Amino acid sequence: MSMEEMNLLNVSGLYTSYGRIPMLMNVSVELNEGCACCVLGANGAGKSTLVKAILGMVKADQGSIIFKGQDITSWSTYKRIAAGIQVASAATGTFTKMSVETNLKLGAYNINDPKLLAERLEEIYTSFPVLKARLNQKAGTLSGGERTMLAIARAVINKPSLLIMDEPSLGLAPIVVDEVFRIVRRLNKNEKITIMLVEQNAKKALSVSNAGYIIQKGQIIFSGDTETLKNSEFLENPVM
């Protein structure tokens, strides 16, 4: 990477809990600008909790979250989104009773300039042609793959500094999964968006990232670049 490596997101020593049950314990994650980094883990390992903590939807009991050099640990969610974090989450889905177009416009919540919004919409239509054909259709009537595309497009329309993708391959047919990961790679390589990919599908996730973390029972048990990860014993764990 020839780009000057700048630290975009720095989560350090993060603890969260659900009631009295601890969820994340001493989790530290570092993301450099321009990288694609995956967070791997089994169901219930704490991946989604980590995403929600970064977004401020789950309170941090201890530790800090630094984004673009600013301490955002106590910020509310909408402020973090305005600062340039976006999430595409397959599980959270879309606004099912609204049209695809309204979904995209709502996604661009912080774009107030109508001219810029029109431009961005055009860009989205060229990069996600599936959606252009479905603009006036209610999001709830889309297929699973189209819905995932919409979830990604809704986030990407903002040109975020950090795009968190929460299990984009969830519940999709293998051929659609390939398409989703092609989009992930394109966003990272061509559009230079920093991506944090949270996945269960380790093999696919590693194929598009340059660094990774493995999370288990709320703790990071491994971190390193993709090559080391691919050969690590942790991936052989049948739970993964």
Interface residues with other proteins (CB under 8 A)? Answer: 55, 57, 76-78, 81-82, 86-87, 89, 92-98, 102, 105-107, 109-110, 154
CB of residue 226 to other proteins, shortest distance in Å: 27
Rounded least distance, CB 75 to other proteins, Å: 12
Nearer to other proteins, 2 or 112 (CB): 112
Q: Which residue, 7 or 76, has its beta carbon nearer to other proteins?
A: 76
For other proteins, the closer of residues 55 and 131 by Cβ is 55
> What minimum distance in Å lies between the beta carbon of 219 and other proteins?
25
Pick 70 or 228: Cβ nearer other proteins: 70
DSSP β-ladder status, 162-166 and 70-71: unpaired
Residue 25 to residue 50: CA distance in whole angstroms: 10
33 and 5 in contact (C-beta within 8 Å)? yes
The alpha helices in 6-142, defined as continuous H runs, are 47-55, 77-83, 100-107, 114-127, 129-132
Element (H, E) at 34: none
DSSP per residue, 104-119: HHHHTTT---HHHHHH
CB of 203 vs other proteins, minimal distance in Å: 27
User: What is the C-alpha separation between 100 and 167, in angstroms, rounded?
Assistant: 21
| CA-based nearest residue to 104, from 168, 153, 145 | 153
Q: Which is nearer to other proteins, 105 or 230 (CB)?
A: 105
Work out how close the CB of 215 gets to other proteins at its nearest, in angstroms, rounded to a whole number.
Answer: 20
Contact 50, 198 (CB under 8 A): yes
